[in-house]
Amino acid sequence: MMKYLSLLLVFLLAPHLFAQQNSFIDEYLERLENSKQYLILVAENMPEEKYGFRATPESMSFEENLMHIGWAMDWHSQSLMGDREARDWNTDTELKVDKKSKEEMIATIDKTFDLTIEFISNFKQYKLEERLDYFGLERTKRQVLLLLADHIAHHRGQMLVYLRLNGIKPPRYALYQ
């Protein structure tokens, strides 16, 4: 009898547990899509001649922050959470500034967001609980996704300050939350 009750409990709770996981991915994808739209708007607002601007000599430039976001999305999704070997920072130029125009950088970021969104859309729900090494800390893949969102916001925030330092009013964030 106890075995049947346990089995019944599993069947009753399973849909609820899977719905929570599905909603995490769905909510994350919505957040990532909004983040993409907002970042592109931020990138479009900075004049191309100001893309090399940096707040201090040791800071990343506006364009380096933009491309660094792309590099981080690619590494977190395709390499850390996926099975693809990480790009070689010293030789791979696809996700670096590397003489790209403003238009080319925005197109690269747009494409990288799309690839990341596609990867996460196809990510197996049960793998969110898998643990991995994240710079010496053990994290679930769910946590890695949250860390990626924080990382995007961190560098986009620097870009927003760069707009202000150049006398440019940033686009309103409230519409992209």
**What confidence tens digit (pLDDT) does each residue in 15-53 have?**
555 444 468 999 999 999 999 999 999 999 999 999 999
Residue 127 in any domain: the answer is yes
Characterise 101 by phi-psi region: left (phi > 0), alpha (psi -120 to 50), beta (else).
Answer: beta
* Per-residue CA distances from 120 to 46, 59, 128 (Å): 29, 31, 10
Q: What is the pLDDT of residue 3?
A: 63
* Residue ranges making up the domain that contains 84: 45-176
Residue 22 in any domain: the answer is no
pTM for the complete prediction? 0.85
- Match 């690269």 to its residue by tokens: 108
Residue 28 in any domain: the answer is no
Residue 132 in any domain: the answer is yes
Residues 6 or more apart whose Cβ sits within 8 Å of residue 1: none
Residue 61 in any domain: the answer is yes
Residue 3 in any domain: the answer is no
CATH code assigned at 148: 1.20.120.450
Domain tally, the chain = 1
131-162 core/surface letters (b: 16 or more CB in 10 A; e: else) = eeeeeeeebebbebbebbeeebeebbebbbeb
Q: Which residues of the chain have pLDDT under 50?
A: 18-21
Look up residue 87 and give its two tokens: 């790009």
Q: What is the pLDDT of residue 19?
A: 46
Residue 15 in any domain: the answer is no
Average predicted confidence (pLDDT) for the chain: 90
Residue 38 in any domain: the answer is no
Phi, psi values for residue 131, rounded to 5°: -105, 150
